[in-house]
């Protein structure tokens, strides 16, 4: 590998990229669009559950229960019909209704069982139903002074990060996905540049000079990685993904750029025209995007998702930006990412080298 | 002959079961132009790929400027120029940018592309993107690219294929000038007239083998047929008679025609390279 030759090829690739209006346009578009999307998505989570209540004579009691319960709000209605209508339409953010009988206080105070109608909209979850039943029990406790048979709060154990009152916003969840999508766009751009070079046989002309295939591969690797890294870095800066741990994020994004460069070289080697390159690029990128999509949903990713090469990247970004994880905490994911990036880059280089040798 | 600029001996290369080049050998001296003639698939391009280091020969030896390939590929590729059959230029870049880029690959840091562009008739168009060039202009730029490093050996693969007469003439002029400068030129072409006018010697290649190798004139004299074509009026029509000069009664037949026919024209004809090729290969060049 000779520096001046590699530098000349990198400069040429950069020029070819900026001259290609399509790739230049979709790159700028992707960066702007993802940044705009990020700032349009909600940055906080409203954890308040609003329950509609129709009752007579329990105003203070109900408000007291609501005030004592974190995340519970009460909307009062004058009649059962109004309450039913609100629950049906979801008016005032009401997710359920409690229709207390007029003699509720007296009945409970007398130690008798009172019947409270729990109004639920179609499709309500079992969890929400249980929550609302608990509220009824709380009210009964407050009126009668008799504790309910089970206090679920005392038995609750939060595994992992306790995010009660500090839920991950959609913005936080989207961060890994947006950053990965930028890398995806660059995979396609690099694949197309490689493919054009092969199809137009310009690489043959390059190899008829003192330039060697190693110089070409090094230049493609540097250009592809550099292009992807600069762009993903830009978006990361804009959406504030670098702030929690700059060195760690730089390493993760650099490894991610190397990963997609490897896949770009593979796609570019096989694609014979624009549509084929598009198809092959997406054939790689769609599975690679699965971990980024999975990050939108709570819970631990299944094993098969964890085995996807891009999982390490998403895991590190998510861990660092949302949970403030340290080098030590993400070391496993980072090692996995480094291994996959190396494998993808080596495979891409070998396949491209073989493709060029058959021209 | 001085030390050959190109010396190929017993070259062989197969693509799977297909024998593309089979025992090809020849030499080209500095300042000499060797025309490499053959139909598509004859083995011309594979031979050039081996000579320019793009393919490693499976059989035989190659020396370029006294340097063995592939051992001294770097040294060799710094001193050769290649004009490919495909117009493999960077179309998003200008003509100047293409030349400057390739100059960098040759290690030329300060390179002024203007004189080279002028030389191939592209003066004033160097700043235009290659995507805006006509086929002829692209071919001229390819030729200019092959000359960037002032090569001692030029490999030209169909350099005038499909070009308009003006562009073809411009390129032929450059080839002649390069040979006069002292560069050895290996020229592959389908165009027999071009080969005849540019080549000091020609090699006929077919099915991977060299069928004949000599000066065009020698090949025509040795293997071609000279004749006299006589056109005359006959009734309301025109007829013609071809008299082979090697025929023992040729002189009498010509005299008789002059005396007895209502002549329109008499032309002497010598064999073309095409005729000679057909005699060797049993087929015409397509």
pLDDT of residue A230 exceeding 50:
yes
Task: Please give the average per-residue pLDDT across A301-319, as a whole number.
Answer: 88
Last residue in a domain, options B152, B180, B215: B215
**Could you give the number of structural domains in chain B?**
2
Closest CA to A231 of A24, A39, A43: A24
Same domain, B191 and B231: no
Residue at B96 is within a domain: yes
Residue at B282 is within a domain: no
Task: Please give the average per-residue pLDDT across B120-149, as a whole number.
Answer: 91
Same domain, B232 and B160: no
Residue whose structure tokens are 């690797």: A221
Joined tokens for residue A254: 């650099």
Contact at CB, B107 and A4, closer than 8 angstroms: yes
Between CA B282 and CA B275 the distance in angstroms is: 10
Task: Check CB contact of A14 with chain B, cutoff 8 Å.
Answer: no
Same domain, B141 and B248: no
Residue at B279 is within a domain: no
Task: Check CB contact of B92 with chain A, cutoff 8 Å.
Answer: yes
Contact at CB, A205 and B93, closer than 8 angstroms: no
Contact at CB, A206 and B105, closer than 8 angstroms: yes
Q: What is the pLDDT of residue B199?
A: 92
Contact at CB, A202 and B89, closer than 8 angstroms: yes
Residue at B73 is within a domain: yes
Same domain, B34 and B146: yes
pLDDT in tens, A91-122: 888 877 888 887 777 777 777 777 778 788 77
Joined tokens for residue A359: 């021209």
pLDDT of residue A260 exceeding 60:
yes
Q: What residues contact residue B65 under an 8 Å CB cut-off, 6+ apart?
A: B5, B76, B79, B152, B153
Same domain, B130 and B236: no
Strands, E assignment, chain A: 49-54, 72-77, 94-99, 117-119
Instruction: Determine the distance in angstroms separating the CA of B49 from the nearest CA of chain A, rounded to an integer.
Output: 9
Residue whose structure tokens are 């762009």: A231
CATH number at residue B63: 3.40.50.300
Query: What is the band of B183 on the pLDDT scale with cuts at 50, 70, 90?
Result: very high
Closest CA to B51 of B116, A350, B199, B34: B34
Q: Beta B262-269 vs B237-244: how paired, if at all?
A: unpaired
Same domain, B189 and B253: no
Residue range(s) defining the domain that contains residue B245: 225-269
Chain A and chain B share a number of CB contacts under 8 A equal to 66
Same domain, B211 and B233: no
Contact at CB, A208 and B52, closer than 8 angstroms: yes
Between CA B242 and CA B228 the distance in angstroms is: 6
Percentages of chain A per state (helix, strand, coil), in multiples of 5: 70, 5, 25
Question: DSSP assignment of A121-135, as one string?
Answer: -TT--HHHHHHHHHH
Whether the complex's predicted ipTM is more than 0.85 is answered with no
Contact at CB, A201 and B88, closer than 8 angstroms: yes
Task: Check CB contact of A213 with chain B, cutoff 8 Å.
Answer: no
pTM: 0.74
Same domain, B197 and B169: yes
Task: Check CB contact of A24 with chain B, cutoff 8 Å.
Answer: no
The three-state secondary structure class of B2 is coil
Same domain, B111 and B152: yes
Q: What is the pLDDT of residue A157?
A: 45
Domains of chain A as residue ranges with CATH: 3-42+168-357 (no CATH), 49-155 (3.40.1710.10)
Between CA A138 and CA A19 the distance in angstroms is: 69
Same domain, B230 and B178: no
Residue at B64 is within a domain: yes
Instruction: Determine the distance in angstroms separating the CA of B95 from the nearest CA of chain A, rounded to an integer.
Output: 13
Residue at B187 is within a domain: yes
Paired with A98 in beta bridges are A53, A118
Residue at B121 is within a domain: yes
pLDDT of residue B126 exceeding 50:
yes
Contact at CB, A204 and B106, closer than 8 angstroms: no
| Contacts B88 to A, Cβ<8 Å | 200-202, 204-205
| Contacts A355 to B, Cβ<8 Å | none
Residue at B1 is within a domain: no
Same domain, B237 and B178: no
Same domain, B56 and B17: yes
Query: What is the band of A232 on the pLDDT scale with cuts at 50, 70, 90?
Result: very high
Q: Which of B74, B80, B84 sits opposite A204 (nearest CB)?
A: B84
């Amino acid at each position: 590998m000779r520096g001046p030759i590699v530098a000349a090829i990198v400069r040429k690739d950069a020029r070819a990229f900026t001259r290609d209006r399509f790739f230049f346009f979709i790159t700028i578009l992707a960066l702007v669009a993802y940044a705009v999307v990020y700032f349009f998505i909600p940055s906080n989570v409203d954890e308040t559950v609003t329950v509609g209540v129709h009752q007579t004579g329990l105003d203070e009691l109900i408000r007291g229960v609501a005030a004592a319960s974190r995340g519970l709000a009460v909307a009062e209605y004058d009649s059962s019909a109004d309450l039913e209508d609100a629950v049906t339409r979801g008016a005032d953010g009401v997710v359920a209704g409690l229709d207390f009988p007029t003699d509720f206080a007296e009945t409970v105070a007398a130690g008798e069982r009172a019947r409270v109608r729990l109004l639920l909209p179609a499709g309500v979850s079992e969890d929400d139903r249980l929550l609302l039943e608990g509220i009824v029990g709380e009210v009964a406790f407050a009126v009668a002074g008799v504790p309910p048979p089970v206090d679920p709060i005392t038995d609750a154990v939060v595994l992992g990060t306790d995010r009660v009152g500090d839920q991950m916003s959609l913005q936080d969840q989207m961060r890994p996905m947006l950053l990965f999508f930028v890398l995806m766009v660059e995979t396609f751009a690099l694949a197309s540049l490689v493919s054009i070079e092969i199809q137009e046989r310009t690489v043959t002309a390059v190899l008829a000079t003192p330039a060697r295939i190693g110089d070409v591969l090094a230049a493609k690797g540097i250009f592809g990685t550099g292009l992807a890294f600069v762009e993903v870095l830009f978006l990361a800066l804009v959406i504030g993904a670098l702030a929690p741990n700059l060195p760690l994020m730089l390493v993760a994004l650099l490894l991610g750029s190397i990963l997609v460069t490897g896949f770009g070289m593979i796609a570019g080697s096989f694609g014979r025209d624009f549509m084929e390159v598009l198809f092959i690029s997406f054939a790689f990128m769609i599975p690679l995007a699965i971990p980024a999509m999975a990050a939108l949903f709570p819970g631990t990713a299944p094993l098969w998702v964890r085995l996807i090469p891009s999982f390490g990247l998403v895991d590190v970004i998510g861990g660092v930006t949302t949970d403030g994880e340290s080098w030590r905490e993400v070391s496993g994911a980072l090692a996995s990412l480094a291994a996959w990036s190396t494998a993808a880059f080596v495979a891409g280089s070998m396949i491209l080298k073989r493709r060029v040798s058959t021209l | 002959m001085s030390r050959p600029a190109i010396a190929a001996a017993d070259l062989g290369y197969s693509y799977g079961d297909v024998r593309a080049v089979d025992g090809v050998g020849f030499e080209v001296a500095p300042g000499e132009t060797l025309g490499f003639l053959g139909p598509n698939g004859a083995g011309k391009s594979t031979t050039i790929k081996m000579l320019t280091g793009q393919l490693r020969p499976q059989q035989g030896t190659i020396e370029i400027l006294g340097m063995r390939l592939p051992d001294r590929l770097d040294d060799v590729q710094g001193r050769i120029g290649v004009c490919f059959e495909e117009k493999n230029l960077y179309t998003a870049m200008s003509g100047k940018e293409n030349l400057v880029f390739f100059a960098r690959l040759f290690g030329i840091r300060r390179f002024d592309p203007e004189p080279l562009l002028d030389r191939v008739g592209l003066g004033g168009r160097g700043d235009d993107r290659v995507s805006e060039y006509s086929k002829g202009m692209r071919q001229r730029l390819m030729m200019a690219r092959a000359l960037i490093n002032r090569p001692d050996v030029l490999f030209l693969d169909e350099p005038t294929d499909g070009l308009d007469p003006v562009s073809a003439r411009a390129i032929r002029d450059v080839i002649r000038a390069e040979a006069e400068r002292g560069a050895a030129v290996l020229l592959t072409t389908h165009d027999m007239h071009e080969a005849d006018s540019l080549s000091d010697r020609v090699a006929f290649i077919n099915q991977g083998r060299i069928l004949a190798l000599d000066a065009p004139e020698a090949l025509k004299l040795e293997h071609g047929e000279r004749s006299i074509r006589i056109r005359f009026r006959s009734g309301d029509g025109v007829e013609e008679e071809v008299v082979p000069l090697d025929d023992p009664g040729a002189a009498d037949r010509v005299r008789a025609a002059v005396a007895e026919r209502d002549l329109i024209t008499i032309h002497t004809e010598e064999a073309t390279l095409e005729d000679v090729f057909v005699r060797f290969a049993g087929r015409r060049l397509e």
